[in-house]
Amino acid sequence: MISPLETTSSLSKQQIEDYQEKGHIILRDVAGPDLISKFEPIISKSVRELNRQSKPLEERDTYGKAFIQITNLWQHHEAVRTFVLANRFARIAAELMGVPSVRIYHDQALFKEPGGGHTPWHQDQIYWPLDTDKTITMWMPLVPISEDVGSMTFASGSHELGYINKLVISDESHRTLAGFIDSKGFEKVSYGAMKAGDATFHAGWTLHSAPGNPTDQMRKIMTVIYYADGTRVAEPDSNVRKNDLKNWLPGVQPGELAASTLNPIVYNAVR
């Protein structure tokens, strides 16, 4: 029997064109109820075990209030590995980017606590020393999220500008990039409520933010970051990129293929 994590259906031409034009898209039922009911408890348990955040919410900075962030869960639990490295999700990433093969950069659980703060405007790829614009993040709720919490908000078309600045997620990035978005007239799009197993996909250069969590329920999100196979490592131009190179591309030097032991190929159309 074929695993549901290995079965896929091709995206429509319109969906691919919409993603490439806007830099983001929502896809419904990427993971069905059976998959979510199986993997949500496992991922949640792993987050509890690996979480080292002990400060009360009110004592944290803006980044710390935004979410509990646990990375590369796939290295700690075999069942999470099955989910994160799933061919089903990777094929969608490859088709949206228009590439034949993708590798994983890393995964992240982003759990926004009840009363948790907003996620400031930012570009993901300022952290990644990858010499390509073919990067994409899958952002999947593991529980239903209401309209009050909602999806992330995206600045449509902002990915076309590439590297805007080096601002990390902070109050400063929120102020500066909010003004930049307004000055450029980018449309701001939020997809509102989402079911568990729905997913958004967004490009590494797409400006995005997320509201706080005014509810009494944990907003449980699992993300996986992909990039095109064949990508080379860029010369790190900031401390955060130097740290990412060390942590997520161990042993790889600038100019070399971005292909460490932590970055397996997770979809290849020619196989």
- If you write DSSP's letter for every residue of 200-221 in order, what string do you get? EEEETT--EEE----SSS-EEE
Residue 123 has pLDDT above 50, yes or no: yes
Confidence band for 271, pLDDT divided at 50, 70 and 90:
low
Residue 1 has pLDDT above 60, yes or no: no
Residue 91 has pLDDT above 90, yes or no: yes
What DSSP character marks residue 165?
Answer: -
Residue 23 has pLDDT above 80, yes or no: yes
Q: What is the mean pLDDT of the chain?
A: 94
H or E segment at 122? strand 119-122
243, 154, 247, 242: which is closest to 205 by C-alpha? 154
Residue 31 has pLDDT above 60, yes or no: yes
Interval 191-198 mean pLDDT: 97
3-class SS at 124?
A: helix
**pLDDT computed for residue 55 by the predictor:** 84
**pLDDT computed for residue 270 by the predictor:** 79
β pairing state of 208-210 and 199-203: unpaired
Separation CA 181–CA 266 (nearest Å): 34
Can you give the pTM of this predicted structure? 0.95
Separation CA 200–CA 190 (nearest Å): 10
DSSP-assigned states of every residue in 212-246: ---SSS-EEEEEEEEEETT-BBPPP-SHHHHHHHH
pLDDT per residue over 217-244, tens digit each?
999 999 999 999 999 999 999 999 999 9
**pLDDT computed for residue 166 by the predictor:** 93
Return the domain boundaries, the chain: 13-264
Other beta carbons within 10 Å of 3: 11
Residue 195 has pLDDT above 60, yes or no: yes
Separation CA 249–CA 106 (nearest Å): 10
CATH of domain 13-264: 2.60.120.620
Separation CA 62–CA 92 (nearest Å): 32
The pair of structure tokens assigned to 149 is: 């919490």
pLDDT per residue over 39-81, tens digit each?
999 999 999 999 988 888 888 888 888 889 999 999 999 999 9
**pLDDT computed for residue 9 by the predictor:** 67
Confidence band for 6, pLDDT divided at 50, 70 and 90:
confident
